Every structure is written in structure tokens, then in C-alpha cells.
Amino acid sequence: MALTIKELTDAVGTGITPRMVRHYHQLGLMPPPPRSPGNYRLYSDRDVRRLQRIVALKQQGFQLSHIQKMLETEPEAEQNSLLEQLQRQYQTVIQQIAQLRQTASALEGLLGRDRHCQTTQAEVLSQLKRLEAETQLEKFWSGLDAHVDAHPEAFGESLQRLLPDWGDRSEVEIDLLSKLVLACGDISLVQFVQIGNQALTRSREALKSGCAIAVDVAAVNAAIDHTRLAHLGCHTQVLIDNPHITSAAEAEQAFWQDHTWKDKLRQLPIDTVLVVGYAPSVLLAVNEAIGQGNLQPALVIGMPIGFSHAPAAKRKLMHSDTPFITVTGTMGGGLLAATAFNSLVESLIEKPDCHCYLGK
């Protein structure tokens, strides 16, 4: 069956236009089609499948030059070949990220220096051009690092220089993002943090009212600020209450082996704050309970680590009407989840000096 270029784009859908198809011909992504007696391009079902592959790969973030290389070397019918191409592309991207991360780390090492370090920095920078090429980096950093042990590091000053312009972000949000960066040492994390559906306002109101707190595993419970929570009148509950769980893999296994936590989830009161930092499947279950109307939390902090379930669970959370704080993609972890929660609690009450009331 022969299709015109308009029929081809209609068959593929997803916003593809004849102009884009002609552009793909120019780049070599689409092979030259035969022509009709009236000089119209004619396409086959194979062309439809090829264009669908191009569109799908482009939507996954691949550049057109990379897609062309993949299509040139990959037999369309062989799934293993596609996986091999994706693995090679992934390795290339990871190498690029590593190189950029090294460059960014070096720049952060310069830009993040506080006032006490700047005198030494200025002196070393002035000498940099005079250093021999084979030794300049070693001498450069040894000179910069010579006096860092003479004073405590000024984290706040460094963050002001390193973090982006906050624009109209609230003081509470700025503090939360800053604490997340300090928890992992990665400035780029800010780009992946998503806060939605009046999360900060709703959660702070609930915390001031002494709401319930639910966490996925005991390790997250150990990391949250029980001192302030006691003053606020908030009580915590651990869904998967096994103190031996110390990794996301163990949390996932416990999720599927023991279903008693599901009863705990259904019994959580309205306006509970949930903190999920380990088990992606717990966050998926939370989303399901919210969708069914069985759970109405004031906030869900969803930051589990994972490579399939976690990104999917976070996307579902962001598409809901529930107030949320998350880190998109595979990144996250119990420390980041607890840090985000503690930042909200800290915004409501100064840390008491005395802990003796906890034993009462």
C-alpha cells in the first residue's frame, strides 16, 4: 500500500508534519521514497515503522545525529541490536556527564570558596599562567588548598555564589533546596527537585496542627527530626517496620513479602505527611491509594531510588492533585527525603536545647 506524505504523517501521529519528514530526508534519517507519475512521494508500511522509531527515540531525548547512527547499524527486526545501540549510547552519555561533572566540580571548587579563601585564591590564580603545563593542575590545587584548614567552611556564603538566582521563590523553598544540596554535595540536584500543589503551605499547616507522619522504612524514621516533632505534637509511624532494612533493594523485597503495611496505609488519617525514601513500590502504592480515594495526605515526599519503578512512581505523583516534593528520575534516597522533611519542620520551630522531655 502506497501512502502520500500526508497519509504517512497521519499514520504516525504525535505531531509529526510533512515538513519534518522532508527534513529527515535531507538528513538521511528517512530513505529517498519512490515517486508517483505525478511526482508525489510514496511511502510504505516500512516507512511508517521507521518514522515511528525516529519519533519514539527523539521523544526519549536522543539527538537526530545519534538516531541516524543507530538506524544505520541496526536491523529493524532485531531487538537485541537496539539494546546494544542503547547501551553504547548510554556509555557515551555517561562519559560526557563524567567529563562535565569534573569540570563543574572544578568550577565549584573555585566559585564556592568563602571570603577567607579568596585571598589565597587570588594569589594562586595570578601564578597559574606561569606554571608549566605538565604540573600546573597539581600546583594549582595545592596552592588553593593550602589554607583551607585555617577556618571553618562557610556553607551559606558558598551556596549564595553557587546556586542560581531564586527569583520569586519563598524563603522556605530556598532553605529546603539549599539543605538538599548540602545533603548530597551536588549543585545540579536543584534542577531535578519538583514541588507542587501548594506543598509547602499545606504541609506546614498540617504540621502545625500536629498531623500524623508516616515513613516507608525505619532508616528514614531514624533520620527525621523527632525533637521538633515532639514539640509540634506529631507522631510517626513506620510502614515497613523492619529495623534491619538498610537499602532500597531490601525495602522492595520487604514490600512484596509482607503486606501488613498495606493495612497501615489504609488506616492513615487525613492530612498525614508521608515520607518515602527507599521503596519505589511503596510510592506506587501510595499513588494508587490516593487515586482510589483511600488516602488524602497533606504532603507526599517521594524520593525513592530506582531505575524503573521509582521514575514511574514519581511521574504518577506529579500528575496527581496531591501536594508533593520529589526528585525526578532515578535520584533520591532516604537522606534526601528526611532532609526535605526536616527543613519543613525546622521552618516552624527552632530546635530545643533540651531533649529530656522525650523520655516523659
Q: To which residue does cell 551559606 refer?
A: 156
Q: Is the pLDDT of residue 252 over 70?
A: yes
Position 38 scores a pLDDT of 83
Q: Any idea what the Cα angle at residue 21 is, between residues 20 and 23, rounded to 5°? A: 65
Best CA proximity match to 240, nearest among 227, 223, 257: 257
Q: Which of 41-55, 61-75, 76-90 has the highest mean pLDDT?
A: 41-55
Q: pLDDT tens digits for 130-174? A: 555 445 555 555 655 656 666 676 667 667 777 777 777 888 999
What's the whole-number mean pLDDT along residues 249-258?
Answer: 88
- Quote the distance between the C-alpha of residue 115 and its chain's center: 32
% pLDDT > 90, the chain: 37
Q: Which of 130-134, 185-189, 298-302, 329-333 has the highest mean pLDDT?
A: 298-302
Domain 164-359 has CATH 2.40.30.20: no
Q: pLDDT tens digits for 2-23? A: 888 989 898 888 788 999 999 9
> Rounded to 5 degrees, what are φ and ψ at 215?
-120, 160
CA dist 172 and 178 (Å) reads 10
* CATH 3.40.50.10230 intervals, the chain: 164-359
Are residues 301 and 245 in contact, defined by beta-carbon separation less than 8 angstroms? no
Residues 6 or more apart whose Cβ sits within 8 Å of residue 233: 210
Q: Is the pLDDT of residue 236 over 90?
A: yes
Q: Is the pLDDT of residue 239 over 60?
A: yes
Position 359 scores a pLDDT of 46
Residue ranges of the alpha helices (H) in the chain? 5-12, 18-27, 45-59, 64-73, 79-111, 115-128, 136-144, 155-162, 171-184, 199-208, 218-223, 226-232, 248-257, 260-266, 280-291, 309-318, 334-346
Q: Is the pLDDT of residue 307 over 60?
A: yes
Q: pLDDT tens digits for 257-281? A: 888 888 888 899 999 999 999 999 9
- For residues 237 and 133, the model is more confident at 237
Q: Topology of domain 5-73, per CATH?
A: Multidrug-efflux Transporter Regulator; Chain: A; Domain 2 (1.10.1660)
Q: pLDDT tens digits for 159-215? A: 777 777 777 788 899 999 999 998 988 888 888 999 999 999 999 999 999 999 999
Position 56 scores a pLDDT of 82
% pLDDT > 70, the chain: 77
Residues 6 or more apart whose Cβ sits within 8 Å of residue 120: 143, 144, 146, 147
- Quote the distance between the C-alpha of residue 356 and its chain's center: 38
Comparing 45-59, 291-305, 319-333, the range with the smallest average pLDDT is 45-59
* CATH 1.10.1660.10 intervals, the chain: 5-73
What's the whole-number mean pLDDT along residues 126-130?
Answer: 56
CA dist 74 and 84 (Å) reads 9
